[in-house]
């Protein structure tokens, strides 16, 4: 038995090393059932005929600034939709580098310290002391509403992985236009 283990153990370690070093491997998909969500109406978007919204899907505990204070995840999406009302719009949205296309969410795969106005995923592990931010590289978002109950599914790519968030429930949309005028 010891001879088999002596032969098998180095082979297993070598195989694991080769697999983990492959840059073409993408990690397994990750699924989150969001516990709550918040929507913010930001007013006129960057282009004519576009309204801007921010949608946060959250699993875990956050402080008043929506920063994670426990293990969990926050997906923040900056959405552009056709001009409509203040309420979070229904539809299908695609990740886009452009900040002014209708039916998109801003998604360019980069994030500088001063520019957090891009869609991103914030993750905090059970052992992590700080939250890691990952800009979204691509993805899609579907928003449906029936009698005030939303069903939201966001499937995005970030940090060489695929993440899916699902949320079902009410989402009041907060009108931030007056607050933004003061800045």
Per-residue pLDDT of the chain (183 residues; tens, 9 = 90+): 444 434 443 443 333 333 333 334 567 889 999 999 999 999 887 777 889 999 999 998 888 877 788 888 999 999 999 888 899 999 999 988 877 788 888 876 665 555 456 788 888 888 877 888 888 989 999 999 999 999 999 999 998 899 999 999 999 899 998 876 655
pLDDT of residue 149: 96
Q: How far is CA 179 from the centre of its chain?
A: 24
H helices within 81-135, ranges in order? none
Say how many CA atoms lie within 13 Å of 67 toward its Cβ: 8
pLDDT of residue 113: 52
This model's pTM is above 0.85: no
Q: Pick the closest to residue 74 from 107, 44, 37 (CA basis).
A: 37
Q: How far is CA 170 from CA 33, 82, 154, in A?
A: 15, 22, 16
pLDDT of residue 16: 34
Q: Pick the closest to residue 43 from 84, 76, 77 (CA basis).
A: 84
pLDDT of residue 8: 41
CB atoms within 10 A of CB 5: 10
């Amino acid at each position: 038995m010891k001879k088999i283990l002596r032969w098998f153990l180095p082979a297993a370690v070598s195989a694991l090393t080769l697999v983990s070093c492959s840059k073409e491997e993408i990690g397994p998909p990750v699924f989150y059932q969001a516990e709550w969500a918040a929507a913010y109406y930001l007013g006129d978007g960057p282009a004519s005929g576009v309204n801007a919204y921010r949608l946060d899907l959250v699993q875990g505990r956050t402080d008043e600034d929506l920063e994670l204070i426990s293990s969990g995840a926050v997906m923040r999406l900056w959405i552009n939709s056709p001009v409509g009302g203040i309420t979070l719009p229904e539809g299908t949205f695609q990740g886009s580098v452009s900040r002014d296309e209708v039916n998109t969410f801003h998604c360019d795969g980069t994030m500088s310290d001063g520019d957090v106005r891009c869609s991103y995923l914030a993750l905090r592990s059970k052992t992590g002391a700080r939250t890691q931010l990952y800009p979204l590289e691509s993805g899609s978002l579907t928003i449906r509403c029936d009698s005030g109950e939303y069903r939201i599914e966001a499937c995005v790519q970030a940090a060489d992985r695929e993440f899916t968030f699902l949320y079902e429930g009410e989402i009041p949309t907060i009108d931030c236009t007056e607050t933004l005028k003061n800045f």
